[in-house]
């Protein structure tokens, strides 16, 4: 289980490959990996976005993500979990978030992966400020709570 918040660019393929390499002992034990990779779009609500500033609450954000991962491990039969989130100044097409759930079967992998991204968006302390031609504005639309199947 790895949770990290970073201000460095995230390469999803490298991060996933590196993390899976750490699970070598358990190779053959999982049959499915579900991932979600969130990427910065260059538009939002009909407007062109030039850049995004991502703020977080150091310490609390990591704790919160850690707790989410633990909850997922209690709720579903999971081999391992990866949650990485970018902060600081980012630009269109940059990776914002990487979630990976390894499991023996695909149903828990999909469900836990979806649960993690929904709960992260609903409650993890991150805030986005968009830079567009009209200047800067804080994003205010919060994601509603998720009811897992």
Partner 1 sequence: MTITVKFFASLREQIGTNQLKLTLHTPLTMEQVWTSACPNTPLPEYLLMALNKEYVQADAIVKEGDEVAFFPPVTGG
Residues of the shown chain interacting with a copy of itself in the complex, contacts defined by CB under 8 A: 12-14, 16-17, 27-43, 92-93, 104, 106, 109-110, 113-114, 117
Residue 100 pairs with which residues in a beta bridge? 35, 82
Nearer to partner 1, 79 or 87 (CB): 87
Q: 3-class SS at 19?
A: helix
Neighbouring CB atoms inside 10 A of 12's CB total 17
Which residues in 105-124 contact partner 1 (CB under 8 A)? 117, 120-124
Min dist CB 135 to a copy of itself, Å, is 20
C-alpha 101/C-alpha 32 separation (Å) is 8
Nearer to a copy of itself, 3 or 96 (CB): 96
DSSP H/E element including 148: none
71 binds partner 1 (CB under 8 A): no
């Amino acid at each position: 289980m790895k949770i990290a918040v970073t201000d460095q660019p995230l390469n999803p393929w490298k991060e996933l490959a590196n993390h899976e390499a750490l699970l070598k002992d358990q190779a053959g034990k999982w049959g499915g990996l579900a991932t979600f990779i969130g990427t910065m779009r260059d538009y939002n609500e009909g407007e062109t976005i030039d850049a995004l500033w991502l703020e977080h609450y150091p310490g609390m954000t990591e704790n919160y993500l850690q707790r989410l991962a633990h909850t997922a491990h209690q709720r579903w039969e999971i081999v391992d979990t990866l949650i990485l989130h970018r902060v600081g100044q980012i630009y269109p097409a940059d990776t914002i978030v990487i979630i990976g759930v390894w499991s023996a079967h695909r149903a828990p992998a999909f469900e836990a992966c979806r649960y993690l991204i929904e709960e992260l968006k609903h409650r993890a302390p991150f805030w986005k400020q968009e830079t567009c031609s009209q200047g800067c504005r804080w994003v205010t639309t919060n994601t509603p709570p998720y009811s897992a199947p």
